[in-house]
Amino acid sequence: MALHRIAAALGLALMLARPAVAAPPEIEYAYPDQSVWTAEVDAQGAPLNPLLRVAKALFAEAGIPWHGTPYPASRMFALLRAGTAQFSMLVAAPALRECCLVSRDPVAHTEVKVYWTGTTPPVRRLQDLAGKSLIVVRGYSYGELAGFLADEKNAVARSTVDSHRAGFQMLEHGRADYLLDYAGPAAEMLTAYPVANIRSATLADIDVHLVLSRTYPDAEAVMTKLEAIAARLDKDHILRGQ
């Protein structure tokens, strides 16, 4: 019996002597408060973000606690640069490379499209919008298109609306030549409120990547782990909520 007690005591002593494995710090997923995926909103009136479902699957398998918070785009980028928020899923913008690691492969894809009606000349490329009137939706930067649209020498006369629905109504009533919108919410609007003789063209294909702050502990290894998990996930299935 004495030998059993000694062995048990030694086993307990060894267990206590082992350093405790610290749980990974909680990650804040900062995402834009304007959805490029859908015009639908939650019970609080906030735009839905299907990428939250991808984050849930990612972090569940990685064993990392997390929460998501929507922010206006400018504040979201400021928080990522400061390391106050540690994660997002965004376009691989050069401005993020200094503060964050960006996954090699995208986790989602969307499109920016231009819409017009009737006899309005078709748009085949971004430069075709020079000198034209264009409706844009408030809150969107439109990524790589923003510089062209803001450049005064291109003379794009922009009108800003507060919703996708208002944009299509304005276009339908001939108050501008073209409307710029993301494919997901635009398709929802056109299904619910069809516009006669509507036509469209894709102006930008946008890949969305994992973004992880370099300030997160062991960030390189964590990003490698998240990339491996993301590669195994059926992301299209998750994004559809199935």
Domain 25-109+207-239 architecture: 3-Layer(aba) Sandwich (3.40)
What does the pLDDT read at residue 6?
55
Half-sphere exposure of 174 (CA within 13 A, CB side): 3
Q: Where are the domains of the chain?
A: 25-109+207-239, 110-205
Do the domains 25-109+207-239 and 110-205 sit in the same CATH topology, yes or no? yes
Tell me the average pLDDT of the chain.
90
Domain 110-205 belongs to what topology? D-Maltodextrin-Binding Protein; domain 2 (3.40.190)
For the chain, the distance separating the N- and C-terminal CA atoms, rounded to the nearest angstrom, is: 58
pLDDT digits (tens, 9 = 90+) for 188-209: 999 999 999 999 999 999 999 9
The fraction of the chain above a pLDDT of 90, given in percent, is 72
Write the Ramachandran bin of 103: left for phi over 0, alpha for psi from -120 to 50, otherwise beta: beta
One-letter identity of residue 220: E
What does the pLDDT read at residue 46?
75
pLDDT digits (tens, 9 = 90+) for 145-187: 989 999 999 999 999 999 999 999 999 999 999 999 999 999 9
184-192 long-range contacts (CB < 8 A, ≥24 apart) are 184/35, 184/36, 184/37, 184/38, 184/39, 184/110, 185/35, 185/36, 185/37, 185/38, 185/39, 186/113, 186/115, 188/38, 188/39, 188/40, 188/164, 189/39, 189/164, 189/165
pLDDT digits (tens, 9 = 90+) for 101-152: 999 999 999 999 999 999 999 999 999 999 999 999 988 888 789 899 999 9
Return d(Cα 145, Cα 156) in angstroms, integer: 12
Structure token pair of residue 31? 């995402």
